[in-house]
Amino acid sequence: MGIQVEIVTPERRLVSGEFDLVTLPGVDGQMGIMRGHAPLLSTLDIGEIILHAGSDTQYIAVSGGVVEVRPDKVTVLADTAERAEEIDVERAQAALERARQSLAENPPPQRRVVMEAALRRSSLRLKVASRRRMRQRQAPTFEESEA
């Protein structure tokens, strides 16, 4: 039996299901949670959530939030969250470029903090989007493998 995982943003419910293992970007590093984990409440960093169920692995980009862990359930309230296959790569590249340009102009401290966070979000989105492409290469569809 796995652990129930709910991932919601202010806009939508992104994930609701049972998984064998979920790894989350805690502020002190990536944490792995399975059924039976001790209860905890933690803030989340900008990072990747990885959901494992049997041989299936799903990748999600989150930009911070909170997680509540109970022995049978993980609830994530994320600021923003996108599945790997939903990420608009051109948009993330444009956001990365804007953040890089802004940081190169030596902005005042408050703007620097904002742009550093934008840079981390866009880099993360590009990383998570590339995982989708890796998975597609590793696991061709029936049609592709027959071609």
Written as six digits, the tokens of 146 are 């027959």
- Give CA separation, 59 vs 100, 105, 135, in Å: 25, 34, 10
- The whole-angstrom separation of Cα 133 and Cα 122 is 17
Q: Which residues in 74-83 are b (16+ Cβ under 10 Å) and which e?
A: bebebebbbb
- The whole-angstrom separation of Cα 147 and Cα 133 is 19
Polymer length in residues for the chain: 147
CB of 139 to ligand ATP, least distance (A): 23
CA atoms within 13 A on the CB side of 86: 10
CB of 133 to ligand ATP, least distance (A): 15
Residue 50 or 125: which CB sits closer to ligand ATP? 125
Residue 3 or 47: which CB sits closer to ligand ATP? 47
Binding residues for ligand ATP, per CB under 6 A? 11, 63, 80, 82, 86-88, 91-92, 95, 118, 121, 125
CB of 68 to ligand ATP, least distance (A): 21
Residue 11 or 146: which CB sits closer to ligand ATP? 11
Residue 22 or 118: which CB sits closer to ligand ATP? 118
CB of 112 to ligand ATP, least distance (A): 16
